[in-house]
């Protein structure tokens, strides 16, 4: 069973590591001059941990006991981590784990054992919250999957339980030595070597796998909870050399860790643990050339504004003053020197040259005003005060949004002939396909509310998802909305 669990864990870790590598590669490949990870961030942190541990090996167990007869002990460790980016990091860890328990077998009889494990390990650490939450805007919480490889150095001392019968292996060795005519001292030595043995310089390969929940109180310190299981490739930690029907020994640890992040304010970007994945992607994919161009454009706009204020506008004012003193014979507001129709009837609409605007154009303009009035009377068009707004990357309805949907439903109920087109929008972050799907989900949510809660006939509702808005190229609350376009 442990081998199956190990295989599942390795496969799951490989999948998440591949995802982290893909996201990291995406962030780097999209970079066209944004922040430099190595110049603008610090990466190192130090963590100490302490807590409880329990040996998982061939110890005595009773059918009605929840836990085996290996005693819960204490453990302490030290981690040095290099956080490569908000998605993953590398950990060099040293963990000390004393262990003790009792065994009772036919082969070796009843014994107790005490020992110590010293385990240096190199692990990869994946922040699952950041890995699967690309648009998280907070870095306070982290949920990490840790797995790695290390060496385990251990020692163990075994003690037979007083008054208990010896095991069959030891008894067979005694019988064989007796038949061979060995002395009592030699028989005792042979019996000791056949039974459980003390180990002073044991060595094994360790495979730690675990989870870590961590909260960053500020830019300098963090506190976390760890749960690790440490697999080993040997089954001799309790001093009994089984040869069949056994599983390799392991160790479970549950600890509290305290982390200190080195020099979080030293560089422009701060510590790599102190940046959200969304902010990181924005910085990494930010186009420095575009920013330079924007700065240049701002300087040019400022120069134009100065020219307008100090040169152009004074000249325009002088011309206007000059024109105000020039004669206007027909009183149409155009001075005679520019007036191409110097005898325009008073009250006529004229253009810049004093020419009469044709009546047909005026009638068209009047018609447009009348159309607007008719549409308003019919309740047609878009009422932006009624639009529904959504949280970032979500399509559920807030209380305010539900209130606006209720207003739209009331308007539809008051005029049974009125139709409505739901137009859904998203702000800039994310791909075009993703935002098109998100805007579709938003209009579907509003339609469902109108139909199921207010009984509006679904045939009166049409859906038009518009996808992402290109401007501005950032998160923008007003672009995360659904508009009601009423018509007949």
- Looking up residue 49, the CATH number of its domain turns out to be 2.40.160.20
Task: In whole angstroms, give the CA distance from residue 237 to residue 202.
Answer: 8
Domain CATH number, residue 383: 3.30.1330.60
Contact present, 412 and 379 (Cβ < 8 Å): no
Considering the domain architecture, whether residues 102 and 238 belong to the same structural domain is answered as yes
Q: Is residue 363 part of a domain?
A: no
Considering the domain architecture, whether residues 277 and 391 belong to the same structural domain is answered as no
Per-residue DSSP letters for 208-235?
Answer: EEEEEEEEE-SSSEEEEEEEEEEEES-S
pLDDT exceeds cutoff 60 at 204: yes
Considering the domain architecture, whether residues 416 and 276 belong to the same structural domain is answered as no
pLDDT exceeds cutoff 60 at 45: yes
Predicted confidence (pLDDT) per residue in 324-347, tens digit: 566 766 776 777 777 777 777 766
Measured over the CA atoms of residue 67, residue 70, residue 72 and residue 76, the dihedral's sign is negative
Considering the domain architecture, whether residues 156 and 271 belong to the same structural domain is answered as yes
Total number of domains in the chain = 2
Give the lowest-confidence range in 206-210, 211-215, 230-234, 340-344: 340-344
Q: Is the peptide bond before 448 cis (omega within 30 degrees of 0)?
A: no
Q: Is residue 203 part of a domain?
A: yes
Considering the domain architecture, whether residues 386 and 272 belong to the same structural domain is answered as no
Range of the structural domain that residue 258 is part of: 2-14+39-284
Please give the torsion angle defined by the CA atoms of residues 184, 185, 187 and 191, in that order, rounded to the nearest 10 degrees: 130
Buried b (16+ CB within 10 A) or exposed e, 340-357: ebeebeeeeebeeebbee
The DSSP H or E segment spanning 123 is: strand 109-127
Considering the domain architecture, whether residues 274 and 148 belong to the same structural domain is answered as yes
Task: In whole angstroms, give the CA distance from residue 22 to residue 11.
Answer: 16
Q: Is residue 175 part of a domain?
A: yes
Q: Is residue 344 part of a domain?
A: no
**Residue (of 82, 7, 91, 108) closest to 49 by Cα position:** 91
Task: In whole angstroms, give the CA distance from residue 226 to residue 347.
Answer: 85
CA 170, chain centre distance (Å)? 58
pLDDT exceeds cutoff 70 at 17: no
Considering the domain architecture, whether residues 165 and 278 belong to the same structural domain is answered as yes
Q: Is residue 307 part of a domain?
A: no
Q: Is residue 387 part of a domain?
A: yes
Task: In whole angstroms, give the CA distance from residue 355 to residue 341.
Answer: 6
Q: Is residue 143 part of a domain?
A: yes
Please report, for residues 166, 412, 419, 460, 486, the alpha-carbon distance to residue 415 in angstroms, rounded to integers and kept in the order given. 95, 5, 9, 11, 11
Looking at per-residue pLDDT, the higher value among 21 and 439 belongs to: 439
Residue 88's Cβ-count burial label (10 Å; 0-12, 13-18, 19+) is buried
Tokens of 461: 């509702």
Predicted confidence (pLDDT) per residue in 77-104, tens digit: 999 999 988 899 999 999 999 998 888 7
Please report, for residues 267, 327, 338, the alpha-carbon distance to residue 342 in angstroms, rounded to integers and kept in the order given. 72, 11, 9
Mean pLDDT of the chain: 79
Q: Residues near 474 by Cβ (< 8 Å), separated by ≥ 6?
A: 282, 427, 428, 429
Q: Is residue 382 part of a domain?
A: yes
Q: Which of 251, 266, 284 is the last residue of a domain?
A: 284
Give the lowest-confidence range in 69-73, 125-129, 355-359, 474-478: 355-359
CA 3, chain centre distance (Å)? 31
Give the lowest-confidence range in 26-30, 45-49, 380-384: 26-30
Considering the domain architecture, whether residues 382 and 277 belong to the same structural domain is answered as no
């Amino acid at each position: 069973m442990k081998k199956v669990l190990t295989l599942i864990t390795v496969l799951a870790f490989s999948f998440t590591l591949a995802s982290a590598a893909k996201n990291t590669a995406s962030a780097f490949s999209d970079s066209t001059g944004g922040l430099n990870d190595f110049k603008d961030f610090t990466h190192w942190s130090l963590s100490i941990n302490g807590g409880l541990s329990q040996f998982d090996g061939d110890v005595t167990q009773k059918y009605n006991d929840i836990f085996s007869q290996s005693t819960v002990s204490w453990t302490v460790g030290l981690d040095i981590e290099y956080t490569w980016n908000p998605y993953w990091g590398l950990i060099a860890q040293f963990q000390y784990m004393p262990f003790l328990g009792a065994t009772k077998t036919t082969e070796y009889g009843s014994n107790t054992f005490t020992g110590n494990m010293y385990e240096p390990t190199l692990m990869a650490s994946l922040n699952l919250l950041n890995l699967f939450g690309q648009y998280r805007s907070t870095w306070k919480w982290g949920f990490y999957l840790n797995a790695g490889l290390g060496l385990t150095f251990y020692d163990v001392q075994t003690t037979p339980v007083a008054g208990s019968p010896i095991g069959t292996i030891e008894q067979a060795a005694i019988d064989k030595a007796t038949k061979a005519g060995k002395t009592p001292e030699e028989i005792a030595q042979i019996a000791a070597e056949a039974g459980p043995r003390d180990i002073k310089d044991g060595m094994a390969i360790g495979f730690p796998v675990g989870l870590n929940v961590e909260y960053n109180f500020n830019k300098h310190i963090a506190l976390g909870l760890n749960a690790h299981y440490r697999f080993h490739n040997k089954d001799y930690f309790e001093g009994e050399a089984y040869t069949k029907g056994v599983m390799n020994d392991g160790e479970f640890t549950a600890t509290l860790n305290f982390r200190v992040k080195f020099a979080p304010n030293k560089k422009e970007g701060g510590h790599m643990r102190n940046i959200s994945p969304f902010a990181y992607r924005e910085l990494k994919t930010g186009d420095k050339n575009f920013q330079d161009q924007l700065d240049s454009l701002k300087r040019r706009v400022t120069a134009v504004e100065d020219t307008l204020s100090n040169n152009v506008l004074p000249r325009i004012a002088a011309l206007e003053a000059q024109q105000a003193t020039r004669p206007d014979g027909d009183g149409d507001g155009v001075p005679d020197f520019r007036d191409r129709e110097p005898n325009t009837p008073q009250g006529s609409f004229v253009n810049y040259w004093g020419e009469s605007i044709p009546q047909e154009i005026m009638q068209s303009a009047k018609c447009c005003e009348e159309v607007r009035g008719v549409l308003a009377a019919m309740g047609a068009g878009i009422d932006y005060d009624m639009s529904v707004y959504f949280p970032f990357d979500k399509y559920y309805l807030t209380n305010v949004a539900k209130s606006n949907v209720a207003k739209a439903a009331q308007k539809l109920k008051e005029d049974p002939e009125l139709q409505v087109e739901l137009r859904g929008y998203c702000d800039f972050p994310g791909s075009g396909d993703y935002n098109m799907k998100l805007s579709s989900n938003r209009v579907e949510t509003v339609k469902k509310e109108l139909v199921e809660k207010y009984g509006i006939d679904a045939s009166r509702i049409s859906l038009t998802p518009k996808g992402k808005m290109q401007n501005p190229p950032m998160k923008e609350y007003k672009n995360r909305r659904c508009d009601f376009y009423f018509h007949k």
